[in-house]
Amino acid sequence: MTTPDLFTQPEPGSAADHIAALRTELHLHAHRYYVLDEPSIPDAEYDKLFRELQALEAANPELASPDSPTLRVGGKALDQFASVRHAVPMLSIRTETDTEATGAQNFDARVRKELGLAESDPPVEYVAELKFDGLAMNLRYENGVLMQAATRGDGEVGEEVTQNIRTLRQIPLRLPSDVPPVLEVRGEVYMRRDAFESLNDKQRDKIAKGAKNEKTFVNPRNAAAGAVRQLDPGIAAQRPLSFFAYGLGEVTPQEEGGPQFESHYQMLLILKSWGFPVAALTQTAQGAPELISFHGKIARERDQLPYDIDGVVYKVNSLALQKKLGFVTREPRWAVAHKYPAQEQITTVLAIDVQVGRTGKLTPVAKLAPVFVGGVTVTNATLHNEDEARRKDVRIGDTVIVRRAGDVIPEVVSVLVDKRVQDAPQFSMPRTCPVCGSDAVREEGEADYRCTGGLFCGAQRKEAILHYAHRRAVEVEGLGDRLVEQMVDANIIRTLPDLYKLGLTALAGLERMADKSAQNLLQALEKSKSTTLPRFLFGLGIRHVGEATAKELAGHFGKLDTIMDATEAQLLEVSDVGPIVAQSIRTFFDQAHNREVVEQLRACGVHWPEAEPAARAPQPLSGKTFVITGTLPTLSRDEAKDRVEAAGGKVAGSVSKKTDYVVAGTEAGSKLTKAQELDISVIDETGLLLLLKTPAA
């Protein structure tokens, strides 16, 4: 490919002109070196130009620019990542469950059916791409300059990682002049296998020399994700990351600049001409036969690729046909991810341990003789739960087949029974938590055992504290994930009451915790001591007891002691409490550990108003279920929810046949569509306020 004319060099003259010329020249050399693999000058000459630019920028700080190559070496460390709402959601792609060649036929058949094509019609043209095993990224350019980089997050909201992405030399900081005023380019940040091995070699050297807080990385994807999410861009700049572009986000307004794309493949070629790396193995394919051929070719070459993939992706090439096909739920009908069969190996079970998750779930885990599967060394494999472990009949000493399910989670596929050690005992789940000794219970209809010592169990400590401090529970402003993790890891907090025993000295000693921040947290903790019984009950994290149930319990019994001592039969008298919820409440308060934590919280000064339960008057929304969606004119969703529940109604998260009303604001989305399909009453905020004023029947 001919090197694109990405930039126009200014005439030398002033310092500004000299700086601009150096930036242009360095951008061009970096593009040739990192993207085209065609270095145009020796490294020493590049370094000389780079140092000259650094000196000029230092002498002329008013000429700082976000597209300067000097930003690639890092910058000031951040306290945290800012949230970014994507202008165009970063949607997920459906995964084809048939990992054989027929999976491509299935996708082609669905597309042809949706387009109404007969067998005699020409084949659909697709673009076949690799499915990279990395981190999805959105790059936002304004007037050709990289202004923001954000992770995918949940598809709607991601994290801003601009400083770190600027250190990635394959990503252009400035684009040619013919791009649209706003251009979002999407792609994958990944780490090459050779770069990953080199990085781990360096990590092992550091560990061997006694370096603390250093570790080797599990696989290239985790190493890449960890580098992108470094708060210090200087550290990110030292990690060998790469990038492939494969799509667009927001592009506005096209009529003021940039080409009018007609096909996905054309768009990729233009991205390449603008300086973005595009995977060389990307190609067009005519119909299912050529998709199958591509799938087979990549399967044969997969182990020799310089980077990890977990499948291939097929996309309808014509953008007009993509628009016609549209979406189902949140997934495009015009694209699919076609994975390969998971890779398998044989190894030996050395032991079976039981791990306790953050929410109390007990999971049996097979400890394995190390085996290389799917590109990583595997030493643990999940057995999921007792039923699954017994179904597969996995025992200590067994020879087993191990698979990385979906190329991610290692699991035991089967046991080679003919190689079993004689009299190997069958596995049984413990009936007490291996971490705290509380009862482990399995609710009716559930596959998992769970620890019932939620307020006491060390494994659940972080989750219990975060839930207690949630704004809809007791609410401790400023007590977030990072701070809780620091305090628990430092053993400053063991149980919830320890929150109220914190001192300024202990807090100020934590990383990034200044005296002012520590004082603010102590004030927030003092404020949280005054709460309500529903909030406190919800904050205890009793399984199946959400906000609405906590309010019903508080309204029915009036006092916490009465709730703690209530029998299952008495609990069943409460509206919104069924047999499973009643059993969960009873089991929770039957644990001496949990009662002790409650009493210690009271002793620390946590209090709320209590009274005898009042006779309940009829309420206007009793027995009615609402779903709130979109943005309401004056009420937030939380305010609307509180008003509905205060009037006796329930608020659900999804629309079903049991829904009575959907309260729809602007940008209501799929919930409104579902309500219309089910012929459920749809009202706006005004309609809700009228219902709230209607006298109870």
For residue range 317-329, list pLDDT tens digits in order.
999 999 999 988 7
Is this structure's pTM higher than 0.75?
Answer: no
Q: What is the pLDDT of residue 1?
A: 38
> Could you list the residue range(s) of the whole structural domain that residue 683 is in?
625-693
DSSP 8-class letter at 302: G
- Residue 190's DSSP bridge partners are 242
Instruction: Kindly give the pairing relationship between strand 283-286 and strand 125-132.
Output: antiparallel
- For residue 415, give the CATH number of its domain: 2.40.50.140
pLDDT confidence bin for 512, thresholds 50/70/90: confident
Interior/surface letters 616-643, b for 16+ CB within 10 angstroms, e for the rest: eeebbbeebbbbbbbebeebeeeebbbb
Q: What is the pLDDT of residue 434?
A: 93
In a domain, 519, yes or no: no
Of the CA atoms within 13 Å of residue 149, those in its CB half-sphere come to 23
Q: Is the pLDDT of residue 382 over 70?
A: yes
| Distance from C-alpha of 311 to C-alpha of 307, rounded to nearest angstrom | 12
- For residue 173, give the CATH number of its domain: 3.30.470.30
The reply to whether 227 and 362 lie within a common domain is no
The reply to whether 150 and 249 lie within a common domain is yes
**How many domains, in total, are found in the chain?**
3
Per residue in 335-353, pLDDT (tens digit) is 999 988 767 788 999 999 9
| Distance from C-alpha of 129 to C-alpha of 335, rounded to nearest angstrom | 11
Pick from 186, 212, 371: nearest CA to 267: 186
In a domain, 306, yes or no: yes
Residue 131 annotated among the catalytic residues of the structure: yes
Question: For residue 600, what are its two tokens?
Answer: 């210690």
The reply to whether 332 and 377 lie within a common domain is no
Final residue before a domain boundary, out of 309, 339, 369: 339
| Residue 201 near residue 107, CB atoms below 8 Å | no
In a domain, 636, yes or no: yes
What single-letter amino acid sits at 203?
Answer: Q
Question: Of residues 76, 113, 131, 315, which has the active-site annotation?
Answer: 131
pLDDT confidence bin for 2, thresholds 50/70/90: very low
Q: What is the pLDDT of residue 501?
A: 92
Q: Measure the N-to-C terminal CA separation of the chain; round to a whole number of Å.
A: 77
The reply to whether 166 and 216 lie within a common domain is yes
Among the listed ranges 156-160, 342-346, 468-472, 648-652, which one has the minimum average pLDDT value? 342-346
Sign of the four-CA dihedral 152, 158, 164, 167: positive
The reply to whether 143 and 256 lie within a common domain is yes
The reply to whether 138 and 224 lie within a common domain is yes
